[in-house]
Chains A and B, each alone.
Chain A
Amino acid sequence: GAVVSQHPSRVICKSGTSVKIECRSLDFQATTMFWYRQFPKQSLMLMATSNEGSKATYEQGVEKDKFLINHASLTLSTLTVTSAHPEDSSFYICSARDYRGRETQYFGPGTRLLVL
């Protein structure tokens, strides 16, 4: 099956620092990757759609300068939370869409970010 990895799985950082989260599709190529944020006991909230070789598309209300997304290859997308603050603490999950066209997204295991 399709496997997506995320790194790191957990990160604790001081307020004001930047944190980079990596999302990789391990056994398939993903032209499109997605970044979600999930608060406790809530559903997944789409933050942005990341397309290989082009700029990410951000959802309404998500600051593109705050959440920098880079999709440099067909197997890697990165999310950088810049100048993180405690309110950025959350569970960040990426997903990847198999390029062969089925509308199915495979999710990574998530990254727990805690900003002190």
Chain B
Amino acid sequence: GQQLNQSPQSMFIQEGEDVSMNCTSSSIFNTWLWYKQDPGEGPVLLIALYKAGELTSNGRLTAQFGITRKDSFLNISASIPSDVGIYFCAGHWRDDKIIFGKGTRLHILP
């Protein structure tokens, strides 16, 4: 079945640094979604990408839908403490279901 490989698994950065994470798959997707999950909460949608090559920003966040439809990246610029959390990529192909990556855990060092 389809799988998403999300990397890195975790990141330790200084406040103010930029962050980059990505997801790849051996299969193509029609939609890529990026979510953030805080401890004890449900995932919150950050960015949705619907077209190959699409580059979308949401404040300090930027995400792109790879041209091959098999990958996507998420960048966070000038990180702040509230960016701490787990970031999940998710892809949708045909049926209603979406497939999640295993997540990237972001830590910000004081």
CB neighbours of A91 from chain B (8 A): 40
State the total of A-B contacts with C-beta under 8 angstroms. 51
CB neighbours of A8 from chain B (8 A): none
Per the bound structure, the CA–CA distance linking A106 and B45 in Å amounts to 7
| A34 interface neighbour in B40, B48, B50, B97, Cβ under 8 Å | B97
**CB–CB A104/B45 < 8 A:** yes
- B62-70, B73-81, B99-107: which one contacts chain A? B99-107
Complex interface bits, B86-97 against A, C-beta within 8 A gives 1, otherwise 0: 001010100011
Number of residues from B at the complex interface, CB < 8 A: 22
Task: List A residues 83-116 near B (Cβ within 8 Å).
Answer: 91, 93, 95, 97, 102-110, 112
Complex interface bits, A24-57 against B, C-beta within 8 A gives 1, otherwise 0: 0000000010100000001110100100000000
CB neighbours of A105 from chain B (8 A): 33, 45, 90, 98
Number of residues from A at the complex interface, CB < 8 A: 23
**CB–CB B42/A110 < 8 A:** yes
**CB–CB A102/B42 < 8 A:** no
A78 an interface residue at 8 Å Cβ cutoff?
no
Per the bound structure, the CA–CA distance linking A43 and B92 in Å amounts to 16
Closest to A59 in B: B97
| A107 interface neighbour in B30, B35, B92, B97, Cβ under 8 Å | B35
| B41 interface neighbour in A42, A49, A106, A109, Cβ under 8 Å | A109
CB neighbours of A95 from chain B (8 A): 42
Closest to B94 in A: A103
4 closest Cβ contacts across the A-B interface? A107-B42, A103-B92, A103-B31, A110-B42
